Amino acid sequence: MRRPLTLSPTRIRRLAPILLGALVLAGTLLAAPGHTAAQAGISFGIQPMPGGPGATGTGGYFTYTLAPGAKATGQAIVTNEGATAVTLRVYAADAITASGGGTGFANGGESPTGAAGWVSVSAGQVTVGPGQQEVVSITVAAPAAATPGDHVAGIVVEAAPRPGAAGNVNTVIVERAGVAVVVRVPGETVEKLALGEFCFNQETGSRYFEISVLNQGTILSKGTGRFRLETEPGQPVFERSVELGSVVPTLDTVIRVHSPQDPPPGRYVARLTLRQSDGVEVERHTQLTIPEEKVNGCAREAAVRGARDEGSDDNFAVQTIQDFSGGASLLILALVAALALMTWALVFVLWRNRRSGRDDARGTPG
């Protein structure tokens, strides 16, 4: 008599490591995103020498007032709080404005087009032991044609690329830290923020309005204000306070305002009032139509901004994620292999059970 096809405890114990390994691999692949975010904290940093030329204070940035053709020097401290020595590339980079304001820095491979060309460093590379610090000297030279106002650059220290988390061969992480260098050239200056287009996104899982802001002035500018959404007849829908970090002259950014609810389809008026650092208020309002279908009305602006600012998002711990081509294909192939392994293991055990049952049936007396 044939025995039913069952998995004996012994066979289950033999099979468990195979199935567990396949499940872990599959789970890891499913959880791994196409872009691996760098860890929030990095072990190294850079800041002005406290009390040194141009230093604004502990953990601050460099600031100089230079007439056209003048020079100044300073010293930056590169620190390493990690357990092992780290070798860092050191370079000057042009400033960019991050989303919502605040200063970030361009990637190291980009040729300087702004104030980064005014800054030079004493060493292009520095090795810092664990728990140690090294000093890098800087020189800032304003060109003879420098115009009045604020000119912003940064000094960046960058570690060698490393593989992404969890052995993900499809990504490489580049960790950077930077400190700003602000040069004020004396003369007549103007503070002028200009509000641009409004858009609304309710497609990607979070609903928010974005308003573009351009610094048309000659000095760093920031502001606070209020955003208001109302129906076209003037009935208020919601109101939120907004805060804009520093925007570098000639650069733009966006203010993002999250909506507490999905406004019903219809016509609305969005209004933003922003008070500059000098107390002057700027205001803009626009009519918006929210359609029946949820769409991302900010997609085009986000694509342009992403292409321009890729890899630069914070002035003290800039973390860059770069994707290698073919990453998605490798993940899919690995996932298929894991599922195939699980299927093969299950089929093999069932086949062994069936064969064992046949052997036992032959050996049983009639």
Is 4 within the bounds of a domain?
Answer: no
Tell me, yes or no, whether 238 and 295 share the same domain.
yes
Q: What is the largest CA-CA distance in the chain?
A: 111
CATH number for the domain that contains residue 299: 2.60.40.1220
Q: Look over the chain and give the mean of its residue pLDDT values, rounded to a whole number.
A: 78
- pTM over 0.75? The answer is no
Nearest to 114 by CA among 133, 142, 76, 75: 142
Structural domains in the chain (count): 3
- Model confidence pLDDT, tens digit, residues 331-361: 334 444 556 666 666 666 666 666 665 555 5
pLDDT band (50, 70, 90) for residue 270:
very high
Tell me, yes or no, whether 133 and 95 share the same domain.
yes
Query: What does the pLDDT average to over 174-182?
Result: 93
Q: Which pLDDT belongs to residue 210? A: 95
Q: Contacts from 126-129 at CB under 8 Å and sequence distance 24+?
A: 126/78, 126/87, 126/88, 126/90, 126/157, 127/85, 127/86, 127/87, 127/88, 128/44, 128/78, 128/79, 128/80, 128/85, 128/86, 128/88, 129/80, 129/85
CATH number for the domain that contains residue 100: 2.60.40.2310
Tell me, yes or no, whether 151 and 207 share the same domain.
no
Q: Which pLDDT belongs to residue 144? A: 97
129/141 Cα distance (integer angstroms): 31
Range of the domain at 356: 9-34+328-363
pLDDT band (50, 70, 90) for residue 42:
confident
Q: Which pLDDT belongs to residue 302? A: 62
Tell me, yes or no, whether 178 and 200 share the same domain.
no
At which of 140, 165, 189 does a domain end?
A: 189
Tell me, yes or no, whether 61 and 83 share the same domain.
yes
Tell me, yes or no, whether 144 and 260 share the same domain.
no
Q: Would the pLDDT of 168 be above 60?
A: no
Alpha-carbon torsion angle 306, 42, 257, 209, nearest 10: 20
Tell me, yes or no, whether 214 and 185 share the same domain.
no
